[in-house]
Structures are given as structure tokens and as C-alpha cells.
Amino acid sequence: MGMAEKKIAEQLFESVKKTHATGEHVASEESIFKLFEKNDSVARLFCRGCGSIYELDKKNAERLAVLAGENFTSEENNSDYFESEGCEACDGDDKKVYLRQIVKH
């Protein structure tokens, strides 16, 4: 990538603003219980800040477990998901992470 292209890319990406995290989003059963799309996914992360949901591989799930102060193994926690106050897509606090148990109604 040349200097001109690099400058354009920097301008474009710096102008993209993160979504404002309202913190009012609630995970739906449908989004938590649906099958994983990726073969290496072991858990989900739901962002209360913006409502985004992400699939996590084992390595990233274990990293979030450390932030949540919990132990996580994909074999034991198949009924759990992570919840955060923010994520890469929003301006919420992505360091506040919780391991939640799935409760099916």
C-alpha cells in the first residue's frame, strides 16, 4: 500500500465512530441457543452495551473468563455465555465481563 492509500485508509477508519452503548440490551433466548456457525466456537459473548453477539473460540473464551474472574472449560460450561458492558463495536466498558448461565424458559 502506497502513502496515498495509507493516508486515505487512516482517514476512513478514524472517522468511523463506535456505537453509543446504552447498556439496556438483553440477550434473547434465540440468539443464545442457536447453533454455532463456526466449527471452533465454544461460547458466545453478548454485549449489553450495543446488543451485539459474538461467537468465541476456546482461547478467547478463556481470556474472557479471566476478566470475569471465573474458570471456563468448554466441556463444563456448555450452558453458559459471557456478557459484557461494551465491545469492539461500541463505546461501553469492555472490561466488565460476566459469565452467565443460560436459563431456558
- In tens, the pLDDT along 48-58 reads 999 999 999 99
Give dist(CA 99, CA 38) in Å, integer: 21
d(CA 1, CA 52): 32
Domain range for 84 is 20-101
Q: How many domains does one find in the chain?
A: 1
Q: Is the pLDDT reported for residue 40 higher than 90?
A: yes
The answer to whether position 95 is within a domain reads yes
The answer to whether residue 35 is domain-embedded is yes
Sheet strands (E) in 1-105: 41-47, 53-57, 80-84, 97-101
pLDDT exceeds cutoff 60 at 76:
no
pLDDT for res 53:
93
- Assess if residue 13 is contained within a domain: no
Mean pLDDT, residues 63-80 taken together: 79
- The helices-and-strands tally (H runs, E runs) of the chain is 3, 4
Residue at 34 is within a domain: yes
- Other beta carbons within 10 angstroms of residue 13's beta carbon come to 8
- pLDDT for 6: 66
Residue 15 clears pLDDT 70, i.e. is over it? no
Task: Look at the block and give the residue holding cell 469492539.
Answer: 88
Q: Which of 84, 92, 60, 85 is nearest to 74 (CA)?
A: 60
Is residue 3, in this structure, part of any structural domain at all? no
